[in-house]
């Protein structure tokens, strides 16, 4: 099986050549991992206690959940949140390769990323993963939704332990959040999401909103609002990067 996968990866890179997002050398140098294993070690993995809402690493005893200053000041509507790595220089390269270059193959490494933090995998167990939606105009322009890609990558690793349901819709084509501060981000996405009428959810489900990054949490919080206003109480979030 390993040799077969190595052969498929070789063919994939031959037909659709790419690069390791961190060092920009050829991918699959060991035949199996898209990103170099040495480069993977360079990522700022989140493995310790973190804020129960946004997941940023914190020191201290985790009794009922640590809360960072930002989340204390502006508590989100969701219950819990987790992130895999910090968005330092290398973390940003991973996100850019997926989000702006459309390199889906990077996400083949997700099982190994999850092995870096077993509690993250456990956090996803027995839940419904809801990708943050793009507006139809942006989806048509970009051609893919990276949040759906990430949710499906988690699903591939966890199998029947999770479901992926595109239960939300984006009602406004909002501006990109990149250059906005916290206040502007909240204003930009206010009331920009809604629950689909036919959504396949029930009120007892454990829901996890999936996005590529957690910055201020404004987008995820608005998505959570769209769910909690409809009576869903067990709403959580999970992202690849935090920064």
Residue 133 near residue 174 (C-beta atoms within 8 A): no
Q: Where are the alpha helices (DSSP H) in the chain?
A: 2-15, 37-40, 69-73, 89-99, 110-115, 118-124, 136-142, 146-158, 182-189, 218-228
pLDDT digits (tens, 9 = 90+) for 13-35: 544 456 899 999 888 766 678 99
How far apart CA 20 and CA 39 sit, in angstroms, is 8
pLDDT digits (tens, 9 = 90+) for 198-232: 999 999 999 999 999 999 999 999 999 999 999 99
9 vs 210: which has the higher pLDDT: 210
Give the per-residue pLDDT at 17.
53
pTM: 0.90
Averaged confidence pLDDT in the chain: 89
Q: Residue 91: which of 151, 137, 45 has the closest Cα?
A: 45
155 Cα distance to chain centroid: 12
φ, ψ for residue 31 (rounded to 5)? 90, -20
User: What confidence category does residue 102 fall into, taking pLDDT thresholds of 50, 70 and 90?
Assistant: very high
Average pLDDT over residues 102-112: 94
Give the per-residue pLDDT at 15.
46
Structural domain boundaries of the chain? 1-41, 43-242
pLDDT digits (tens, 9 = 90+) for 71-98: 999 999 999 999 999 999 999 999 999 9
User: What confidence category does residue 7 fall into, taking pLDDT thresholds of 50, 70 and 90?
Assistant: very low
Give the per-residue pLDDT at 176.
77
**Residue 44 CB neighbour total at 10 angstroms:** 17
φ, ψ for residue 30 (rounded to 5)? -100, 5
pLDDT digits (tens, 9 = 90+) for 164-197: 999 999 999 887 777 777 778 888 889 999 999 9
Average pLDDT over residues 96-124: 94
């Amino acid at each position: 099986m390993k040799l077969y996968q190595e052969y498929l990866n070789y063919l994939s890179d031959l037909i659709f050549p790419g690069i390791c997002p961190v060092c920009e050398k050829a991918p699959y140098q060991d035949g199996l991992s898209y990103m170099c294993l040495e480069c993977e070690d360079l990522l700022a993995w989140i493995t310790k206690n973190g804020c129960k809402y946004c997941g940023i690493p914190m020191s201290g005893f985790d009794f009922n959940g640590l809360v960072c200053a930002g989340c204390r000041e502006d508590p989100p509507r969701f219950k819990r949140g987790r992130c895999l790595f910090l968005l330092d220089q290398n973390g940003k390269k991973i996100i850019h390769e997926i989000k702006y270059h459309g390199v889906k193959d990077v996400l083949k490494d997700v099982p190994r990323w999850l092995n870096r933090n077993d509690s993250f995998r456990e956090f996803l167990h027995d839940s419904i993963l809801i990708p943050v939606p793009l507006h139809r105009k942006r989806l048509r322009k970009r051609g893919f939704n990276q949040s759906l890609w990430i949710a499906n990558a988690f699903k591939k690793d966890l199998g029947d332990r999770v479901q992926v349901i595109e239960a939300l819709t984006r009602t406004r084509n909002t501006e990109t959040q990149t250059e906005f501060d916290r206040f502007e981000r909240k204003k930009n996405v206010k009331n920009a999401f809604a629950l689909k009428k036919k959504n396949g959810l029930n009120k007892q489900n454990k829901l996890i909103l999936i996005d590529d990054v957690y910055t201020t949490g404004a987008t995820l919080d608005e998505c959570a609002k769209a769910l909690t206003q409809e009576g869903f109480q067990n709403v959580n979030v999970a992202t690849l990067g935090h920064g």
